[in-house]
Amino acid sequence: MRIDIVTLFPELCDSFLSASILGRARAKNLFEAHCHQIRDYTTNKQKQTDDYPYGGGCGMVLYAQPIADCLREVQRQCAEQGRAKPHVVFLTAAGHPYNEEAAKRLAQYEAVTLVCGHYEGIDERVIEAFGDEEISIGDYVLTGGELASLVVADSVLRLQPGVLAEEKGYQEESYWDGLLEYPQYTRPEVWEGRAVPSVLLTGDHQKIDAWRGQQSRTRTRLRRPDLYEHWCDTHPLTELPKWKRGENMRLVKTEEQWDVAARLFAEGRHDVCKDVCTPLYLDTLTPEHCREELQSERQNGWAFYLHSTKNEADGMVGVCHKTGQISHLFVTSEARGRGIGSKMLDFARKKLAEYEHPTLTVLDTNTRALALYRRMGWRPAGVEAVYDPADDPTAAVYCQELKLRYEAQ
């Protein structure tokens, strides 16, 4: 790839592209970079690059002519090298917001030319004549386009083959898959009284991946709800895992089935509540207590189903035909990762076929379930309850019970 930067400060840009990871990659010819001085293309005696704006107003505006001539020269050099015509990007505060998707897109071009404005900006006519797009690196105003062009150059060049030691290096980072990255830790194990999360020391890569995925989804949902929404929408679970031989769903009817359902319910709720409820509340989650709760819900129109694999019960779900609600969707920890939750949710929704928009609730801390629901077409429909340790003796941390509503995908 070839990157050209058209600027009033070529030395500044060039020194950045010569340092650290990009500098080493440039020295190895993994990409080509050229920084051009706009002033060298002026045709007036004073080598003036700017003038007062037509119509008045403060500041100065860069002339179209030197920038146009510089861009023609870059085009000529690219043609001489047998390259495609460069894709021309003007860095402007009014441009399209820049993100990793744009970086991936720009990284596909053989040549990209980045034009930096200064003072009040650039004569609009040269942008119209040469610009393929305008990019803004954020909702703030810089004194010049140099930092913006370097931000774009850096994010694009690091995607070029060989620039980073491993391709995985960028594929696991924030934004690559639409989510923010999980937190990172290095030695020592305990720093100023703060320990590294113990799961990272287990050496169990399945557990570590699960923890990192959960951290990544939680961070994104809390810090960047816009990204999280987009991720859910662009990663739909449209294909459900297939039902396997030996797998079935049974209505809870017999005493034995009620016992099993009560055990799964107690385990499942304990798991969901363990980080957000007080030990006092967790102690109440006995199978006996849960059995009573299920029985009383049954009186109110709820029906419960057990999922079994080879006669071993490993999941449960409840549906209420009176209200169109789904609840108590639990999969035992040993059976997770086999798609049982999504199959049971689909099963329960279809049981409520008379409701176009069935509902369910989920704690906002249960990111595994939230992600599953969102990806299966369930959308936020308000807050059902708030658990605040300040006024709720069962709550250990502040959390919300979110209501979700099924919207056909």
- Establish if 154 lies at the interface with ligand SAM (CB under 6 A): no
- Establish if 66 lies at the interface with ligand SAM (CB under 6 A): no
- The minimum distance between CB 148 and ligand SAM, in angstroms, equals 3
# binding residues, ligand SAM (CB under 6 A): 20
Query: Is residue 401 classed exposed, middle or buried when 0-12, 13-18 and 19+ CB atoms within 10 A define those classes?
Result: middle
Cis peptide before 380 (omega within 30 of 0): no
395 DSSP 8-state letter: B
Residues with Cβ < 8 Å from 384, sequence gap 6 or more? 361, 401, 402, 403
Closest CB to ligand SAM among residues 94, 390: 94
Among 65, 136, 215, 248, binds ligand SAM (CB under 6 A): 136
- Establish if 94 lies at the interface with ligand SAM (CB under 6 A): yes
Q: Measure Cα distances from 205 to 172, 210, 212, 396 in Å.
A: 15, 8, 10, 29
Smallest Cα–Cα separation from 100: which of 1, 177, 3? 177
Distance CA 152, CA 146 (A): 10
- Establish if 320 lies at the interface with ligand SAM (CB under 6 A): no
Instruction: Report the binding-site residues for S-adenosyl-L-methionine.
Output: 117, 137-142
- The minimum distance between CB 16 and ligand SAM, in angstroms, equals 16
- Establish if 102 lies at the interface with ligand SAM (CB under 6 A): no
Among 137, 159, 369, 371, binds ligand SAM (CB under 6 A): 137
- The minimum distance between CB 95 and ligand SAM, in angstroms, equals 6
Residues 164-203 that bind ligand SAM (CB under 6 A): none
In 175-324, which ranges are E strands? 190-191, 194-195, 247-251, 302-309, 312-320
Instruction: Report the binding-site residues.
Output: 117, 137-142
Beta bridge partners of 33: 3
Among 5, 127, 148, 163, binds ligand SAM (CB under 6 A): 148
H or E stretch including 379? strand 378-387
Among 121, 315, 324, 377, binds ligand SAM (CB under 6 A): 121
Residues with Cβ < 8 Å from 282, sequence gap 6 or more? 270, 273, 274
- Establish if 144 lies at the interface with ligand SAM (CB under 6 A): yes
Give the binding range for ligand SAM (CB under 6 A) out of 39-47, 92-100, 306-314, 371-379.
92-100
- The minimum distance between CB 227 and ligand SAM, in angstroms, equals 20
- Establish if 93 lies at the interface with ligand SAM (CB under 6 A): yes
Among 100, 120, 133, 259, binds ligand SAM (CB under 6 A): 120
Among 142, 249, 272, 282, binds ligand SAM (CB under 6 A): 142
Give the binding range for ligand SAM (CB under 6 A) out of 2-10, 140-148, 153-161, 211-219.
140-148
In the block, residue with structure tokens 């079994």 = 308
- Establish if 156 lies at the interface with ligand SAM (CB under 6 A): no
Q: Are 106 and 67 in contact (CB under 8 A)?
A: no
Beta bridge partners of 303: 319
Output the six-digit token pair for 90. 């003007």
Beta bridge partners of 395: 277
- The minimum distance between CB 130 and ligand SAM, in angstroms, equals 14
Chain residues that interact with ligand SAM, rule: CB under 6 A: 91-94, 116-118, 120-122, 136-138, 140-145, 148
